[in-house]
Structure 1
Amino acid sequence: MPAFRTGTDRRRPPVARARVAAAGALLTAALALSLTAPAAAGAADVPPPAPPERGSATMGMGVIAHDGQSGPPRTNRAEQTEGVDVSSHQGNVDWPALWNTGVKWSYNKATEGTYYKNPYFAQQYNGSFDIGMIRGAYHFATPDTTSGATQATYFVNNGGGWSRDGRTLPGALDIEWNPYGASCYGKTPAQLVAWITDFTTTYRTLTGRDAVIYTATSWWKDCTGNSSAFGATNPLWIARYNTTVGELPAGWAYQTMWQYTSTGPIVGDHSKFNGSLDRVVVLATG
Structure 2
Amino acid sequence: MPVHRPGPLHSRRLFLTGILLAALTLGFSAPASAAGTPARGSAHMGMGVLAHDGRSGVPADTRATQTEGVDVSSHQGNVAWSTLWSSGVKWAYAKATEGTYYTNPYFAQQYNGSYNVGMVRGAYHFATPDTTSGATQADYFADHGGGWSKDGRTLPGALDIEWNPYGDACYGRTQSAMVTWIRDFLNQYKARTGRDAVIYTATSWWTQCTGNYAGFATANPLWIARYASTVGTLPAGWSYYTMWQYTSSGPTVGDHNKFNGALDRVVALANG
Normalised-by-shorter TM-score class: 0.7 to 0.9
- In structure 2, the residue matched to 1:219 is 205
Q: Within 5 Å, which residues of 2 pair with 1:205-216?
A: 205-216=191-202
Measure, in 2, the Cα distance between the counterparts of 1:94 and 1:196. 33
Which residue does the alignment assign to 2:26? none
Q: Which amino acid aligns with 2:32?
A: P
1-structure distance, mates of 2:63, 2:124: 29
Establish whether residue 156 from structure 1 lines up as the match of residue 142 from structure 2.
yes
**Structure 1: segments with no counterpart, 5+ residues:** 1-44
By percentage of residues, which structure has more helix?
Answer: 1
- Amino acid aligned to 1:72: V
1:247 corresponding residue in structure 2 = 233
Deviation by residue 1:190-209 (Cα, 9 ceiling, x = unmatched): 00000000000001111111
1:198 aligns with 2:184: yes
Range with bigger deviation, 69-78 or 129-138: 69-78
Kept in 2, the 8 Å contact 1:160–1:171? The answer is no
User: What residue is the counterpart of 2:13 in the other structure?
Assistant: none
Match in the other structure for 1:87: 73
TM-score, L = length of structure 2: 0.87
> Is 1:51 aligned with 2:37?
yes
Contact 1:161 1:171 (8 Å CA) reproduced: no
Q: Deviations over 1:65-93 (max 9, x none)?
A: 00001232123551000000000000000
Instruction: Tell me which of 243, 248, 251 is aligned to 1:257.
Output: 243
The question of whether the paired residues in 1 share the 8 Å contact of 2:224 and 2:241 is answered with yes
Quick one: distance in 2 between partners of 1:268 and 1:172? 19
Q: What code does the residue aligned with 1:82 have? A: E
Q: 1:133 aligns with which of 119, 134, 150?
A: 119
CA distance in 1, matches of 2:127, 2:102: 11
- 1:160, distance to aligned residue in structure 2 (A): 4.7
Q: Which amino acid aligns with 1:247?
A: T
How far apart, in 1, do the equivalents of 2:127 and 2:185 lie?
A: 9
Structure 2 match to 1:176: 162
Q: TM-score, normalised by structure 1?
A: 0.83
Distance 1:139 1:76, change over 3 A: closer
> How far does the alpha carbon of each residue in 1:112-166 deviate from its partner, in whole angstroms, 9 at most, with x for none?
0000000000000000000000000000000000000000000010025411211
CA distance in 1 between partners of 2:129 and 2:63 (Å) = 39
> CA–CA distance in 1 between the matches of 2:107 and 2:125?
12
Distance 1:187 1:46, change over 3 A: closer
Query: Identity percentage over the alignment?
Result: 72
Partner of 1:111, secondary structure, is: strand
- Corresponding residue for residue 272 of structure 1: 258
> Once the two structures are superposed, what CA deviation does each residue of 1:49-70 show, in whole Å capped at 9, x if it has no partner?
3410000000000000000012
